[in-house]
Chains A and B, each alone.
Chain A
Amino acid sequence: QQQVKQSPQSLIVQKGGISIINCAYENTAFDYFPWYQQFPGKGPALLIAIRPDVSEKKEGRFTISFNKSAKQFSLHIMDSQPGDSATYFCAAGDRNQGGKLIFGQGTELSVKP
């Protein structure tokens, strides 16, 4: 069964703090690991993505850390802001599967001012 397990389900962080969301996968054929951000009433949108040939990718305040041996990856949001309050989904895909993604259960992040 191709599964992606995401934790925690919800997260409350103070403004300026670090938000950390974790995901674990089972299928070693996965070779693409994106994170999507979703605001209320909107569709998800790609935030940042990584491929397994690197262990870390950083874009601004957002960083993906990837541990291939543990089959885990995580999203770190540095200096979290109230505007980061949203639902975050991790996902995993196999390029041999034509772009299909398996999504995690989602994490609702609330950043308190």
Chain B
Amino acid sequence: DAEITQSPRHKITETGRQVTLACHQTWNHNNMFWYRQDLGHGLRLIHYSYGVQDTNKGEVSDGYSVSRSNTEDLPLTLESAASSQTSVYFCASSDRLYGTDTQYFGPGTRLTVL
């Protein structure tokens, strides 16, 4: 069955370190998204991609970067982790089928920056 996976599921790191969160989908979807979830803020869009070599900034992109070298993967990199980036991160994918824009979410990565 097609799925979307994230790794690691939990990560503890120190301030200033570079961290990369992986996202892999087997839906063959063109669109991929990264969100962070914080209490009281809901899901906020960090970066998104509509296809290979395409990346776009979302609402809260400062301190994050992504690259899309193939259809299946959209890794999220925190260049220099900060305590404010402690959060739960979700990856999602979608395809623009007629009449639907359903996004399929991964299980999430809980990141703690000490």
A34 adjacent to B96 (CB under 8 Å): no
B42, A105: Cβ atoms under 8 Å?
yes
With both chains docked as a complex, state the minimum distance between the C-beta of A100 and any C-beta of chain B, in angstroms.
Answer: 6
Interface residue A98 (Cβ < 8 Å from any Cβ of B): yes
> What total of chain A residues lie within 8 Å of the partner, measured CB to CB?
25
Within 8 A of A (CB), among B60-100: 90, 92, 94-96, 99-100
Contact of B42 among A41, A45, A51, A103 (CB under 8 A): A103
Q: Is the CB of B90 within 8 A of A43?
A: yes
A110 at the interface (CB under 8 A from B): no
CA distance A41 to B45 in the complex (A): 19
Complex interface: chain B residues within 8 A of A60 (CB): none
Q: Which residues of A contact B (CB under 8 A)?
A: 6, 9, 32, 34, 36, 41-46, 49, 51, 89, 93, 95, 98-106
- A-B complex: 3 closest residue pairs judged by Cβ atoms: A43-B105, A103-B43, A105-B42
Chosen A-B contacts, 12 in total, with CB atoms closer than 8 Å, are: A9-B40, A42-B107, A43-B90, A43-B107, A44-B105, A49-B102, A98-B50, A99-B95, A100-B33, A100-B48, A101-B101, A101-B103
